[in-house]
Structures are given as C-alpha cells and as structure tokens.
Amino acid sequence: QDIRDCPGPLSALAELNAAVKEKFRQLRGRIQELEQMAKEQDKESEKQALLREVENHKKQMLSNQAAWRKANLACKIAIDNSEKDQLLQGRDSLRQRKTTKESLAESASNITESLMGISRMMSQQVQQSEETVQTLANSSRTILEANEEFKSMSGTIQLGRKLITKYNRRELTDKLLIFLALALFLATVLYILKKRLFPFL
C-alpha cells in the first residue's frame, strides 16, 4: 500500500524497492533455514508439520511479491501521469509562482520521513517473521527433547520388563526345586515308614 501511494519521484520509488528486495532476501533465507531444519527431523510427523509451515510461508511470500509487483506498476503509472500533469500545469503556473528553497526542503523532509516510516514497517514485518521462525525452532527443540526423554523411558521400561521376566523364571525354578525337594522328602519318609512298619516287604 505504501508503494502504491508513493508520490514519487522514481528515485524515491527505486530506494523503497531496494529496501523491500532486501527484506524479501532476508525472509527467503529464514524460510530456507526452517526448511533445512524440517528435513533434519527424525520423526516423520514433526518433519511434515514443519514442511507444511514452510509451504505456508512460501505461499505468503509469493503472494506478497505479486502484490508488490502490482503496486509498483500502479505507482509508476501514477507517477508518470502526475509528471505529465505537472508539465502541462507548469507552462501556465511557472510564470505566476516560484518554488522556494523552504518548500523544496519541506518536500524532501516529507519524502524522507515517508521512506523512514516504510522502512520501519518492513523492519517490523521481518522481525515478526524472525520471531515466528524462532518460535518454530524452539518448538522443534522441545519436541526433540521430549522425544529423547520418551526414548530413555522406553529403554528403562524394556529393562524393567526383562528383569521381571527373569525374576518370574527364577521364581518358577525355585518352586520346581521346592516341589522336588518336598517330593524327595515324602518319598524318604514313606521309605523309612515302610522299613519300620513292614520290614518283611
């Protein structure tokens, strides 16, 4: 909107476009960093979620670039028409008025303030994009840390399961040994009773 409303001249529009190009370059770099981070994810669901976020940012950037081009075209047409009107009006009004140094300085000051405002706005937008990317990066790190904790807990659970299985086997072996010992004891008692009570058998 600021480019579309730029009053000119073309040099001011060129400076504004240069600032916009730089912001787009920075944003593109951030998106590439996020895409690389997504590709490095181990878990497929986390990878796909980050890739969808990257795709959304790319679509938004393409939409902004299309709007930027349209605004440039509209602004150039408006500046050309304005310059033509000024040339036509200048023939009649040049003899009646002269532009003072104060008015020129004021115009330059207004243009400078306008450009500074636009630059601040673009800087805020890039900062917001950086904060979004940083938030996604922090979320990814938190997910990775949680995943590592789950892996550690899974290993502990598996170790506990093995120990319980081992103890169950040992308990079964102990019961079997006790049963055999009891059977041997009873057999011994029966043998002794047999010899005492029925020595002739």
Delimit the domains of the chain by residue range. Answer: 1-90
pLDDT-derived band at 102, boundaries 50, 70, 90: low
The answer to whether 8 touches 79, Cβ cutoff 8 Å, is yes
Q: What is the pLDDT of residues 114-141, one digit of tens each?
A: 677 776 777 777 788 788 878 877 877 8
> What is the mean pLDDT of the segment spanning 42-70?
82
pLDDT tier at 157 (50, 70, 90 boundaries)?
Answer: confident
Answer yes or no: pTM beyond 0.85. no
Distances (CA, A) of 81 to 73, 86, 87, 143, 183: 12, 9, 10, 56, 114
Q: What is the CA radius of gyration of the chain?
A: 42
Higher pLDDT: 62 or 126? It is 62
